[in-house]
Structure 1
Amino acid sequence: MYDLLKGLRVVEGSAFVAAPTCGLYLAQMGAEVIRFDNIGGGPDFRRWPLSESGLSLYWEGLNKGKKSVAIDLSRPEGKEIAQRLAAAPGEDGGLFVTNFPAEGFLAYEALAKLRADLVCVRVMGWADGSQGMDYTINAALGLPQMTGHPDDERPVNHVLAAWDLLTGAYCAFAMVSALLARQRDGQGREVRVPLSDVGAATMANLGFMAEAQLTGRQRERMGNDLYGAFGRDFVTRDGQRLMLLCVTPRQWSKALEALGITREVASLEGEVGVSFATDEGLRFTHRDRLYPLFERAFAARTAGELTPALDAGGVTWGAYQPLEAALRDRRLYKDNPLFQDVRHPSGLTYPAPGAMGTIPQDERRPVIPAPRLGQHTDEVLAGLLGLPGAEIARLHDQGIVA
């Protein structure tokens, strides 16, 4: 947690991954983020994985450092409170992130009537407003047909919600950008960020789109091969599976030295009339001839024998390990200052990350756990909307807030 955005107030009306991720990143940089949900929780409140007591580890992970307000959003008065929260006054407020539909009670036009300079960042599925989630957008982009091994035609959905996470990060960037613009021109804005556009643009930015358009077909699946360069997983004599990457000329030459196959590769170069050291694309083109040389060299050595030599040469490699082993990895979790032990709403204490970027000039503030659902309802209604105690009590009695 850092204080770069200290003083900013962001209201979040959201569910699932992308919009809550945007709010999480803003909170970790110091913004006050107030999330409102339906009484009893929204559609993501009990999403797996769950603790033994049935509370969502997912929800408490994506909502660290936020404040929580619980409202009955099915009733007109509840909807009005949500609108007033999104458009609440204050120079550093009027910032709203949501994945509610573009039409309806949280439409930008409705909120802008309450606050003309409102900045709203809206996560969408498809740009035309139709339903779309990470897995369905990913399927539409063709990536599941590129993922997996060549001898299996079944599509493979990756388990990481990549488009959600990219969209959430882009939304945080868009929010800060629109705020800076508002400070210059005083104008409010709605920024609509569909997962489909994030996915399509990313595929274009990485060359996937142009490649398919020029060749008339998408890239074939190739297992763990690194496209366009030399990289793949190999198994050592003691059964360790290592991912090896040789992108630069130095990485290539040092990998050959560590594996003891410099002369064999030179012989292959002479046979096919190329220099693998000067062109990473040639290593990819001739990978079927190179792989057997590397496979034999890996199979002749243990990981303990091989990895020090790879490290000494500055070669990039990584061991495949399950997440339970990664938890013991000092660089990832065990000794990583990014993580702090936190007691969460589930009652469990386990490490939680703060801001993913490190600022050497600033001190990290403690990680703040996610709130209990509705924990800050009274505080926010009184402090932000200025409702008197009697009015808040009435709202509770009528079941409009909780």
Structure 2
Amino acid sequence: MARPLDGIRVLELGQLIAGPFASRLLAEFGADVIKVEPPGTGDPLRKWRMLHDGTSVWWASQSRNKRSVTLDLRDPEGQDIARRLAAEADVVIENFRPGALEGWGLGWDTLHELNPRLVMLRVSGYGQTGPYRDLPGFGVIGEAMGGLRHLSGEPGRTPVRVGVSIGDSLAALHGVIGILLALRHRDQQGGQGQMIDVALYESVFNMMESLLPEYSVFGAVRQAAGSSLPGIAPSNAYRCRDGKFALIAGNGDSIFRRLMEVIERPDLAADPTLAQNDGRVANVERLDAAIGAWTAQHSLEEVLDHLNEARIPAGKIYDVADIATDPHYRAREMILDSTLDDGTPVQLPGVLPKLDATPGTVRSRAPTLGQHTDEVLASLGLDDAQRAALRERGVI
């Protein structure tokens, strides 16, 4: 089956999360991703989080479908090989600090002159321009500057971070969008590539919905609101009789009326002041109290049964054990059974987005360090003796 990105070659010069996650998504839809890693150590992600036989199990997900080439980008010979690889690539992805690639002779101007068709994604904390461009910026800093951290947690308490590196992942998604747009433009405009500048903080800020318009018009500074959704009601987490929480979104007008009937409050369903969202927001504490009083009388399972029957959006809070055993995840192929290099069974996330005619696939396991170095360099014309000499000098 033909895949959407068949024939597209991606040179991944990044490490850890943002750049590699972007290239992982491209690889799942057919792109040939050549991942460049430092000799000896490899991508630091190989040692992040929980390790099996010395390698992170995260690596099995983040680097599937890729080819690994070891190359010292600080060495002139390594830089020359990287330029040769870029000359044959459609896309280069990097997430070093701004200026790092320029110092290695691998900046945008150099690579664009070498390969005018090239599309280059550059991910950094603050972008390639501006007064903060040279500051170090990881995902958590981007999440804070982008406005997300201020809104996370309970009112009056220390802001908390989201439990995953959401800033890096959002930057990767914006980067993939940019790459696909640039490739489309290249097809339309006679083969001209372009550079895509993605900042972590901007990727987070782009998710902040009405935050800025509300401030500019009303001077309102949105604050953390715990489990509720400010300005939209009712939408909250409600404790059930068994101590578990039900997430209930009764904020649609007709949904709200059905919810009030389920919790046996027809008086609230008929109240004209609650017919639309603005009136419900003004009475949110009264509504939350009524819903909470009802959920406290029932187990979580009973609450969800009643609400699902009435077509009211509701659910429980999943942990990973819930995810791994959930039949809907399985039915949607969002949990894939695979194996690590030593045959150990491992479950990995499925492929998104879901295309019905040309779906993404997992074609190969995450590579061992430098697994494809000889294969890729031989394709550039470097013979056995040349590769042996480079290996002896630590370049590969």
TM-score between the two structures when normalised by the length of structure 1: 0.89
Matched, 1:210 2:209: no
1:98 shift after superposition: 0.9
Per-residue CA deviation, residues 83-129 of structure 1 (Å, 9 max, x unaligned), is: 221222xxxx3311111334322211122232233221111111232
Letter in 2 for 1:396: R
**Is residue 2–residue 355 contact of structure 1 (8 Å, CA) maintained in 2?**
no
Query: Aligned-pair distance for 1:347?
Result: 5.2
1:116-152 deviation digits (Å, cap 9, x = unpaired): 33221111111232221211122223432322122x3
> 2:192 & 2:121 partners in 1: Cα distance?
14
Aligned to 1:202, the other structure's residue is in SS state: coil
Pairwise CA distance, 1:354: 4.0
Determine the structure 2 residue equivalent to 1:388.
383
Q: Secondary structure at the match of 1:113?
A: helix
Equivalents in 1 of 2:178, 2:307: separation in Å?
Answer: 41
The alpha carbon displacement at 1:74 in A equals: 2.6
* Aligned 8 A contact 1:28 1:355 in 2: yes
- Deviation, 1:376, is 0.4
Partner of 2:273: 275
CA distance, structure 1, for counterparts of residue 360 and residue 138 of structure 2: 34
Corresponding residue to 2:95 among 87, 99, 124: 99
Q: What is the rounded CA distance, in whole Å, between the counterparts of 2:383 and 2:52 in structure 1? A: 39
Match of 1:148 in 2: 153
| 2:72/2:78 contact within 8 Å kept | yes
> Which residue in the other structure is 1:199 paired with?
204
**Residue 192 of structure 1, CA deviation:** 1.2
Give distance in 1, aligned partners of 2:347 and 2:373: 27
Q: How far did 1:199 drift?
A: 2.7
Shift of 1:245: 0.2
Paired residues, what number? Answer: 385
Once residues 220 and 122 of structure 2 are traced to their aligned partners in structure 1, the CA distance between those partners, rounded to angstroms, is: 33
1:252 CA drift (Å): 1.0
Q: How far apart are the structure 2 equivalents of 1:197 and 1:375?
A: 35
DSSP-derived class of the 1:181 partner:
helix
Deviation track 1:133-187 (CA, whole Å, cap 9, x = no partner) reads 211122223432322122x331211123222112111111211221222222322
AA in 2 matched with 1:110: T
Give 3-state SS (helix, strand or coil) of 2:303's partner: helix
After TM superposition, give the deviation of residue 216 of structure 1 in Å.
Answer: 2.8
1:250 aligns with 2:248: no
Residue number in structure 2 paired with 1:69: 69
Aligned mate of 2:300, from 300, 303, 310: 303
Paired amino acid for 2:94: T
Task: Provide the rounded CA distance (Å) in 2 between the counterparts of 1:390 and 1:200.
Answer: 51
Q: Cα 1:392–1:43, aligned 2, differ >3 Å: closer, same or farther?
A: closer
> Residues 82 and 345 from structure 1, CA distance in 2 versus in 1: closer, same or farther, beyond 3 angstroms?
farther
Instruction: Measure how far apart 1:251 and its partner are.
Output: 1.5
Query: Retained in 2: the 8 A contact 1:64–1:370?
Result: yes
What's the CA shift for 1:335?
Answer: 4.3
> After TM superposition, what 4+ stretches of structure 1 lie above 6 angstroms from structure 2?
none
How much is the aligned-residue C-alpha RMSD, in angstroms? 2.2
Identity of aligned residues (%): 29
Equivalent of 1:314, from 311, 328, 334? Answer: 311
Task: Show structure 2 runs of 5+ residues with no match.
Answer: none
| Distance in 1 (alpha carbons) for counterparts of 2:47 and 2:265 | 51
8 Å CA contact 1:36, 1:68 repeated in 2 = yes
The separation in 2 between residues aligned to 1:63 and 1:246, in whole angstroms, is 40
AA matched with 1:50:
M
Q: What TM-score do the two structures reach when normalised by structure 2?
A: 0.90
8 A contact 1:36–1:71 mirrored in 2: yes
CA contact (8 A) 2:86 2:115 kept: no
- Compute the displacement of 1:266 (Å): 5.0
User: What displacement does 1:353 show?
Assistant: 3.1
Structure 2: distance between partners of 1:14 and 1:275: 55
In 2 relative to 1, CA 54–390 (structure 1 residues): closer, same or farther, beyond 3 Å?
closer
Structure 2 contact 68–367 (Cα < 8 Å) conserved: yes
Whether contact under 8 Å (2:228, 2:236) holds in the other structure is yes
Q: Is contact 2:123–2:197 with CA below 8 Å preserved after alignment? A: yes
Match of 1:328?
325
What is aligned with 2:349?
353
Does residue 237 (structure 1) correspond to residue 241 (structure 2)? The answer is yes
For residues 340 and 173 of structure 2, the distance between their equivalents in structure 1, rounded to whole angstroms, comes to: 24
